[in-house]
Amino acid sequence: MAQVFQGARASAQRIAGLAAALIVFAAPAASAQFTNGGFESGLTGWILDGYKTSVPFSTGLTTNTKHSGLQSMQLTRSDVVTYGSGYGTYLYQWVPSTTNTIFTLDYWVRGNGGPLTYFSAWISDGGSYWNPLTTVNGTINGWTEYTTTFTGLAGTTAVGFQSENDVEAYFLDDVTLTSQVVATPEPASMVLLGTGLLGVFGVARRRRKA
């Protein structure tokens, strides 16, 4: 009986090795997607829309507070005279994407926003689809890190940030976006894995009957 289970165990280990190989194939190493996430090169790589340029609390790069490096990005509400109410300040980048792409977004924020203000990270297809990933309301005392994981869209995806409502500023710094394309294992490989597992249990049953 011990030999039966040892043989089944050895076969199972071989099948497990095959499964591990398929998983490794399906999850390649993550790659960086964002350009200039620390704003050390100004707004290089970023698109800024709807922002408020008048003082106090204008949108723009600042050296007054930063998480690391020389500067951070200060985001305030939009210019209501130009854009109307309900329009946010948007800061974003376009990145290549598929529905098999798993993204991890990490960033640092601080600010003294009022009770009605909010700061959010979001993704969009540039059309009708817009989805918030994380949302922060009110004051953020000190630099705080936020991390979120999400699945990409079909085609190029906009990943960015929004500040809206009160005039107080939020500060953004050290933004990173990494991605992994999770490939679907080929059908023949999955059939091989399933057949192998069935074979292991079949052999074990036959040996026990013997």
pTM: 0.73
Query: Is the domain defined by 31-181 classed in CATH 2.60.120.260?
Result: yes
For the chain, helix, strand, coil in percent to 5 are: 25, 40, 40
The boundaries of every CATH 2.60.120.260 domain in the chain are 31-181
Residue type, 4: V
What single string gives the DSSP state of each residue in 110-167? Answer: EEE--TT-EEEEEEE-SSS-EEEEEEEESEEEEEEEEEEEEEPPSS-EEEEEEEESSS
- Pair of tokens at residue 171: 């500060």
Distance CA 35, CA 30 (A): 15
Helix axes 2-26, 187-209, angle to 10 degrees: 170
Nearest to 15 by CA among 200, 191, 184: 200
Per-residue pLDDT of the chain (210 residues; tens, 9 = 90+): 444 334 444 444 554 444 444 444 445 678 999 999 999 999 999 999 888 777 667 889 999 999 999 999 998 887 777 776 667 789 999 999 999 999 999 999 998 777 778 899 999 999 989 999 999 888 888 999 999 999 999 999 999 999 877 667 899 999 999 999 997 655 554 444 455 444 544 544 444 555
